[in-house]
């Protein structure tokens, strides 16, 4: 039922949320994560096309359990330990 994800290559460490978000927003396959999370957890951006029910971009969490919309916490938003991947 659950899938496996390949380990993403880290391209930047110790960023604040804004820096990591800019990368995810501008890089089609880019992701961001916090060090303390499980290794397979990654936040990505979805840009819906005209065939999707969702009409605006949104962030989602991807892990071995699947993909779900991401609901951030204040602790995560204020962290300066974000890592970005390609």
- Domain residue ranges of the chain, discontinuous segments joined by +: 12-85
DSSP-assigned states of every residue in 30-78: -EEEETTS-TT-EEEEE---TTSS--S-EEEEEETTEEEE----HHHHH
pLDDT of residue 86: 82
pTM of the model: 0.81
Q: What is the model's pLDDT at position 10?
A: 58
Mark the ranges of the chain whose per-residue pLDDT is less than 70: 1-12
Of 2, 55, 52, 5, give the one whose Cα is nearest residue 31: 5
């Amino acid at each position: 039922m659950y899938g496996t994800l390949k380990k993403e290559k880290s391209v930047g460490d110790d960023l604040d949320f804004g820096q990591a978000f800019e990368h995810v927003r501008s890089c089609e396959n880019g992701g961001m994560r916090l060090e303390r999370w499980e290794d397979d957890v990654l936040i990505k951006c979805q840009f819906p096309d005209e065939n999707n029910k969702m009409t605006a971009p949104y962030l989602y969490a991807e892990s071995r359990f699947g993909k779900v919309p991401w609901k951030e916490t204040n602790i995560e938003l204020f962290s300066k330990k974000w890592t970005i991947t390609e």
